[in-house]
Amino acid sequence: MNVLITDGVDPQCGQILSQNGFDVTEIPKISKEELKKIIGGFEKLIVRSATKVTAEIIECGTNLKLIGRAGAGVDNIDIEAATRNGIIVMNTPGGNTISAAEHTCAMILSAARRIPQATADMKSGNWNKKKFMGIELEGKTLSIIGLGKIGREVASRMQAFGMNTIAYDPMIPDEFASHLNIELLPLHENFMRADVITIHSSLNESTRNLISKGTLDLMKQGVIIINCARGGIINESDLADAIESGKVSAAALDVFEMEPVNSDNPLLKLEQVIATPHIAASTTEAQEKVAIQIADQIVEWKRSGKLEGAVNASAVELAQVPGVQAYLTLAEKLGATLAQMAPLHANKMTVRTSGEFLQQFNEVITAAALKGFLDVRQSKDTNYINAFTMAKESGIILEQRFEKENPDYTNLIRIELENESAKRMIGGTVFGDKEVRIVMIDQFLVEFKPEGNIIIYNNTDKPGVIANVTQLLLQHNLNVAYIALSRDEDKKVAMTAIVVDGDVMPELIDEIRNVNGVAVTNLVSL
């Protein structure tokens, strides 16, 4: 149970771990090459933001089981590489929330009133009242890009200054934002309406260079931009140009694309820029909180197996809850069935759950559905930890929806898969404790166990079709175990699911497709 702690994490972290039986090694500053050499001897690694835990480092960590981040941001850790290697990544998302929010508010106020510039000018022996004319924040519009914990804390504080708050966050429901007196708007409308823009999103492929020439052109003349989140979200060269042109009147930055910042960074040469060296979370209270929190989480994991703060293993934790396992089995079966029925190039998946019991398990059910789907569609091993990563790499556009209730079923899982020209849907439930059933396919209500070999076809609703299909099954010496029938009387079409004993040859499926009246035909093997 040996642990390596880097980056000068508060000593209380190591003390707590040592007191609970861990063998702790602390190296405050470590080079990439040195880390590569020694990481193979450790089961756990704890870092702040300085150490870059790359895929290369992770591959060298042959005994690593956990990477702990004493703080919220995990973009210095290659989560996908960790996930592929079965390594849990754990962070402490709430430990520095208040410190980061307070620093952001200080940056907004400093930019609006040019306090650092006035201070520096006075220390140079000047008294220039007119030079440092500021603006009032009351009545101005603040745009918050990313409405997580820090973004919400910033909103409440700046609302106290009389600012109108708008935001962009695709994961937050309108009702939730409205409760916080925040208006959710599309990204481009945020840029167009805001007097001040503050960024509180993580750095990923969709947010890299989010603030660049194209988006800067949308903004108001004289906008103020704040970034205490992650470097790389702002294109620094484009921002410098916008400041020099007067488009941006001020910028306050705590993070940069390259840290430490090179002295030749053009932003540092501009008087309108307020810069701090990535210290938004650097308060005594915050550093103590995150150090104690990450240590306590690791100790609890050792003691009880509870994975608190695990950013890539929530599915593993939730899967242990009594009563959930049958629904996870169902979700996997639904995903696997849909993978064999839907168009090959369908890439948008929507997972819908309904029912009070399922509400808290939407994430793990989605992971199970993805696992079932991807196990069929690709050769790579998929599990609940890496399912979301694998789906993203496969180009799947994923949506998750929860509906409070369904009129026909206490708890229901539905999965939709579509492309530009076609869409398929499948739904299922659990009867009792573990009786897994598929209960709907597209517009048809059916009921059958998702087991074995199942022939599913659509046909014109007319006499003789079932007889002709079952005759073909007889010719291929296949016994019918179960038949589920449904029809759409308005459209005069029907759907049949036939569970058979034995293997189904491809030529049989071709013969069924050629039966008069039969349309879409799929073989599903579970």
Q: Is 281 part of any domain?
A: no
pLDDT per residue as tens digits for the range 93-112:
778 899 999 999 999 999 99
- Stretch among 70-79, 100-109, 149-158, 287-296 having the lowest mean pLDDT: 70-79
Q: Is 166 part of any domain?
A: yes
pLDDT at 365 over 70: yes
* pLDDT score recorded for residue 392: 83
* pLDDT score recorded for residue 469: 95
Asked if 324 and 290 sit in the same domain, the reply is: no
Asked if 433 and 365 sit in the same domain, the reply is: yes
Active site residues: 230, 259, 278
Asked if 115 and 148 sit in the same domain, the reply is: yes
Mean pLDDT score of the chain: 91
Instruction: Determine the 3-state secondary structure of 366 from DSSP.
Output: helix
Asked if 392 and 437 sit in the same domain, the reply is: yes
The CATH number for 495's domain is 3.30.70.260
Whether the pTM exceeds 0.75: the reply is no
Tokens of 82: 């960790």
- Stretch among 93-107, 170-184, 244-258, 420-434 having the lowest mean pLDDT: 170-184
- Amino acid 157 reads R
Task: State the residue range of the domain holding 472.
Answer: 450-526
* pLDDT score recorded for residue 95: 85
Sign of torsion over alpha carbons 320, 323, 325, 327: negative
Asked if 323 and 383 sit in the same domain, the reply is: yes
- Give Cα separations from 245 to 154, 216, 240 (angstroms): 29, 11, 9
What average pLDDT does the segment 265-277 reach?
Answer: 97
Asked if 179 and 250 sit in the same domain, the reply is: yes
pLDDT per residue as tens digits for the range 327-343:
989 999 999 999 998 87
- Stretch among 28-32, 85-89, 120-124, 368-372 having the lowest mean pLDDT: 85-89
What is the count of structural domains for the chain?
4
Asked if 366 and 419 sit in the same domain, the reply is: yes
* pLDDT score recorded for residue 292: 97
What average pLDDT does the segment 423-437 reach?
Answer: 92
Give the count of beta carbons closer than 10 Å to the beta carbon of residue 191. Answer: 23
Q: Are 94 and 297 in contact (CB under 8 A)?
A: no
* pLDDT score recorded for residue 320: 56
Q: Is 351 part of any domain?
A: yes
What average pLDDT does the segment 297-314 reach?
Answer: 84
pLDDT at 381 over 60: no
Asked if 234 and 199 sit in the same domain, the reply is: yes
- Tell how strand 479-488 and strand 66-69 pair up: unpaired
pLDDT at 83 over 80: no
pLDDT at 363 over 90: no
Q: Is 126 part of any domain?
A: yes
The CATH number for 154's domain is 3.40.50.720
* pLDDT score recorded for residue 121: 96
Tokens of 491: 């459209």
Vertex 229, ends 273 and 32: CA angle to 5°?
Answer: 105
pLDDT at 319 over 60: no
Asked if 188 and 121 sit in the same domain, the reply is: yes
pLDDT at 12 over 80: yes
The single-letter DSSP state of residue 358 is: G
Asked if 103 and 239 sit in the same domain, the reply is: yes
| Separation CA 393–CA 228 (nearest Å) | 29
* pLDDT score recorded for residue 317: 55
* pLDDT score recorded for residue 194: 99
Cβ contacts of 142 within 8 Å, gap of 6 or more:
108, 155, 158, 163, 164, 165, 166, 194, 195, 196, 197, 198
* pLDDT score recorded for residue 171: 61
Cis peptide bond N-terminal to 260, omega within 30 = yes
| Separation CA 64–CA 87 (nearest Å) | 7
Asked if 223 and 200 sit in the same domain, the reply is: yes
- % of the chain surpassing 90 pLDDT: 71
Q: Are 350 and 399 in contact (CB under 8 A)?
A: yes
Give the count of beta carbons closer than 10 Å to the beta carbon of residue 401. Answer: 13
Q: Is 374 part of any domain?
A: yes
